[in-house]
Structure 1
Amino acid sequence: MATASTIAIAALAITALLNRHLSKKAERDNPPSGRFVEVDGVRLHYLERGTGDVIVLLHGNGSMAQDFESSGLVDLAAKEFRVIAFDRPGFGHSNRPHGKVWTPDVQADLIAHVLAELGISKAIVLGHSWGASVAAAMGIKHPALVRALVLASGYYYPTLRLDAIASLAPALPLVGDILSHTVSPLFNRAIWPMALRKIFGPQPVPEKFGAFPKEMALRPSQIRASSEEAAMMVPDAFAMRGQYADLKMPVVIVAGDQDRLIDIEAQSARLHSAVQHSSLHRIRENGHMIQQTATDQVMSAIREAASGSASRAAAE
């Protein structure tokens, strides 16, 4: 028994050292390409392009600003707007201080404070997936700041989620630290192709997604942040479910009609019914990653939000 325990501990230690090496290599191979701002004890990395009215881009769980950059959305939007794409806390090159539960409300406050630091008093805010919850929280808590919302592939109402249940242990203190530094990166690396098929399906993974820094997403720190957000998904939706009617600005809701991760009728369509100043666009034959596979349609949603023309119509 003692020998088996010693072998197991040694194996975990070796795995932790390997993951640390791969994490450092990923950061060397993918240095920050944007700027940093420190607010409320958080050092956030962001990309900034273009001039004009401001649009803020907030990525989903497990991702980073390079998702929007690799999709081409940053450059496309920068032709018409001043684009600011954040690495949310714990993702990309942004840190995620311990001792705080990083709910959508908390992250909304942080982004609002950062925008004030940058001298921005009004912005269109686009959030994808988990980022849509942060964007919605910004609209609820900081309505004077948010000119319009674009909510893409979001999860807004609580449902039974087995993936959220599976994330409970990796999100726990100590247990989560051990897992994220040992077996979780190896496991996530093994299932990466399957995970991509699910989130991109029914569309194939586009070649441009090859520019996304996969190894950055497989670092222990980012896996830990991702586990925490997955575990919070259902309770956060429960807490926010009755507040969406408070959104008074134009809201453009967009989702792939074949999303394999989120039921868009139970989420996006229901949100459209709850928000008076909203429009809903179902993108045909697309899944969860519409910013990658339907970039032009997402750009059209941004233009609609900017024009303030969101209506009660549910567009196809």
Structure 2
Amino acid sequence: MKNLIACLPAIRAPFLLLAPICVFLGLSISHYHHVEFQLVSFILTLIAALFSAIAVNCLNEYQDFHSGLDLITTPTPFSGGSGLLKTSPHLASNVLKIANFAATIVLLVGLYFTLVIGSKVIPLGMLGAVIIFTYTKWLNKTPFLCLIAPGLGFGLLIVNGSYLTQTLSYSNDVWLISLIPFFLINNLLLINQFPDIQADKKSGRNHLPIKYGTKIASVVYLLFAIFSAILLGVLIMKKVLPFISAVCFLPLLLNFIAFPHYYLFGEKIAEHPNAMILNVLSANITPLLLAISLLIAG
């Protein structure tokens, strides 16, 4: 038990915040659609989302340690892992146990919803499992898949899954709304890769900043930010989102303030933590404000 407690840094608690925010967004959309709140479904969905994030973080920690990547990476507040196994290698097996336990919890919740809702749950669950177990070893070697995997897991799967467990159905509107966090969460992980480029390259990774350089990656970041802003505006004009959701343009502006720093400083962006913070704030605050605006309008 003492070793398991010592492994808690590997779950990277500050990085778990996006999971409940995305669950909250899915719940808020169902409220805006005048669906009766299902407490048990909400709690189980929240548990599944949190434990899926824990599974990814711990599996990533374990695999990066065994690949040797941890030994050549300089951690930053935003990237590079927790550094736990670099100083306490004897805890590696316990970190793997936490990852497996978390994945088991997600599986059990998924089985419950499959029994309650039916086969509609299965595609989301299977895609989520693929992302959890392939992100570090395989997806990081394919630039495009690595780019979209974070937004796919959090933005699309968790938001739509949360809506599904409340309403027992999918909605085209929800898929469109979830593209906003999809782009922003992809951006969050994209910029966090910049400081680790040299270490990642040595370990065999091949994500977008490695393949095409930080200048191209920064332009992709800018395009994703533009897509998010345009989509928000279109959904408000089409009345898919209420007018009050326009408040989300404020945190979206942070992306455009930060972009010149990413373009100019590239791999040295860790020397400018304030610019990296702007990315984190936008990715977290935008879907949170969106969810709150839907609750108010509903």
User: Same fold by TM (over 0.5)?
Assistant: no
Structure number with higher strand proportion: 1
Name the TM-score, length of structure 1 as normaliser.
0.28
Name the TM-score, length of structure 2 as normaliser.
0.29
Structure number with higher helix proportion: 2
Q: Structure with the greater relative contact order (CA < 8 A, sep ≥ 6): 1 or 2?
A: 2
